[in-house]
């Protein structure tokens, strides 16, 4: 049941919002153009809920949630002959420019949704991980070659301001796709400014789903000392005599003084007794702690001792005014769209592995994980998927919106509609491509789960 609420529900909510906005774009522009809309459906297949008031549109929630559609009058030849007095409301009788606008509205609304979501995030503000970096433990990496040192604070990448780890990650991903060098302007722990030249010209984005590419570059957030901010009453830590202000420096005699080290050790040893060395007032004390036990989302046992760590030095609130936020939201949506198109192009050229294609299982996984990290993370996920959906639908593949736009562009140039045989052939090719793409995406999903 917890799996259902933590993963399936966020996935359905995200998918429902994206489909609703996409189809709403088709619907609103169709009505604006005077076209009669017969059905607005979120989902395919058998209708679960229907509603039709005094209007001419039937509103439907269908069983299969991976999509939706807007059925317009005169859209299909199967509807038979259109009476003359209703011809002005038939989709097929509209000028090619109006048909183009109606079809393009769905993907465009997805991109506009991303702008609105990013704008809301920027205005509302959020606590973001500061771009404090350190080289990964590997002896050789791109970060070490660039001279990255622990505690470097990234100020900008190629002159563009960086205010959070998310900003830094995004800038580096763009360079990775472009296969170019990234110039990191940093402030060192000593307070001096320096430039780190990260060479990503030969960096591979293969199998991006298994490991964060920024980690593979040899970069990670700078570690935080395990300084205790709060101790829960009656917890394992409280019973052992731990206090707020204590700093954990070792476990069982082994040096472990960073938050992630302590958390990983404690989580892996539920029910066991550990000897924690803490520094208090300049003195070190050894405390015996019986690690508590609780269940994770997946039902597995995990250890905990009931302390909260002080992470104030690692986070900063990032926010912008309403006017400043809008161009930033537009630029981020534009840059994400370009990155998506470049990535697709690199896949076609064989420069990026097809293993990076993800299907519904991976999307559901990310939906659940982002929802568990809070509202801001889920909204970022929603904006990213909305952009991906918009760009995917604009691709010139028959069956997709982009395929129809290709037909209308050809009709505009040719001066007449394409023959039904050409369009039928295109539909078959498009359906075959989509089935292949979906099969490959699901295969990648299953392979990631297994590995």
Return the active site residues: 23
Helix residue ranges, H only, 192-250:
213-216, 236-239
- Count Cβ atoms below 10 Å from residue 283 Cβ, excluding itself: 7
Question: How far from the centroid of its chain's Cα atoms is residue 149's Cα?
Answer: 29
CA angle, 351 as apex, 346 and 353 as ends, to 5°?
95
Tell me if 167 sits within 8 A of 133, measured CB to CB.
no
Can you tell me the distance from the alpha carbon of 133 to that of 314, in angstroms, rounded to the nearest whole number? Answer: 10
Q: Three-state DSSP class for 251?
A: strand
Helix residue ranges, H only, 287-321:
none
For 420, residues 6+ apart whose C-beta sits below 8 A from its C-beta are 77
Can you tell me the distance from the alpha carbon of 80 to that of 183, in angstroms, rounded to the nearest whole number? Answer: 63
- The radius of gyration computed from the CA coordinates of the chain, to the nearest angstrom, equals 27
Question: How far from the centroid of its chain's Cα atoms is residue 65's Cα?
Answer: 19
Retrieve residue 15's tokens.
Answer: 């998918």
Retrieve residue 229's tokens.
Answer: 């901010």
């Amino acid at each position: 049941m917890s799996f259902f609420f933590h993963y399936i529900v966020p996935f359905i909510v995200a998918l429902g919002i994206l489909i609703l906005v996409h189809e709403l774009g088709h619907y609103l522009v169709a009505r604006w153009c005077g076209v009669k809309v017969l059905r607005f459906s979120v989902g395919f297949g058998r209708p679960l809920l229907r509603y039709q008031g005094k209007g001419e549109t039937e509103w439907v929630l269908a069983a299969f949630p991976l999509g939706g559609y807007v059925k317009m009058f005169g859209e299909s030849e199967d509807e038979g002959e259109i009476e003359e007095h209703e011809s002005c409301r038939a989709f097929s009788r509209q000028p090619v420019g109006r048909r183009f606008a109606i079809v393009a509205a769905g993907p465009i609304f997805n991109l506009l949704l991303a702008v609105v979501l990013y704008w809301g995030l920027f205005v509302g503000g959020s606590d973001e991980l500061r771009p404090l970096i350190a080289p990964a433990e590997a002896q050789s990496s791109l970060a070490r070659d660039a001279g990255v040192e622990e505690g470097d604070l990234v100020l900008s990448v190629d002159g563009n301001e960086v205010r959070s780890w998310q900003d830094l990650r995004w800038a580096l991903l763009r360079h990775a796709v472009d296969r170019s060098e990234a110039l990191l302007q940093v402030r060192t722990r000593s307070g001096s400014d320096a430039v780190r030249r990260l060479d990503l010209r030969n960096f591979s984005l293969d199998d991006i789903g298994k490991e964060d590419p920024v980690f593979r570059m040899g970069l990670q957030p700078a570690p935080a000392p395990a300084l205790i901010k709060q101790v829960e009453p009656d917890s394992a830590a409280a019973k052992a005599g731990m206090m707020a202000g204590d700093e954990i420096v070792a476990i069982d005699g082994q040096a472990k003084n960073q938050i992630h080290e302590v958390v990983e050790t404690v989580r892996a040893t539920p029910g066991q007794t550990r000897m924690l060395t803490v520094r208090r007032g300049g003195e070190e004390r050894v405390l015996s702690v019986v690690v508590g036990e609780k269940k994770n989302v997946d039902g597995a046992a995990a250890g905990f001792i009931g302390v909260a760590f002080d992470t104030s030095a690692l986070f900063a609130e990032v926010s912008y005014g309403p006017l400043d936020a809008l161009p930033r939201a537009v630029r981020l949506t534009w840059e994400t769209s370009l990155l998506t198109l470049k990535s697709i192009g690199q896949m076609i050229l064989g420069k990026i592995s097809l293993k990076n294609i993800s299907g519904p299982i991976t999307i559901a996984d990310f939906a659940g994980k982002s929802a568990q990290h809070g509202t801001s993370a889920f909204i970022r996920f929603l904006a990213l998927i909305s952009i991906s959906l918009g760009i995917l639908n604009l691709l010139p593949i028959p069956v997709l919106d982009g395929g129809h736009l290709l037909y209308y562009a050809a009709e505009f140039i040719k001066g007449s509609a394409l023959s039904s045989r050409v369009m039928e052939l295109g539909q078959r090719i498009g359906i075959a491509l989509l089935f292949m793409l979906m099969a490959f995406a699901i295969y990648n999903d299953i392979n990631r789960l297994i590995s």
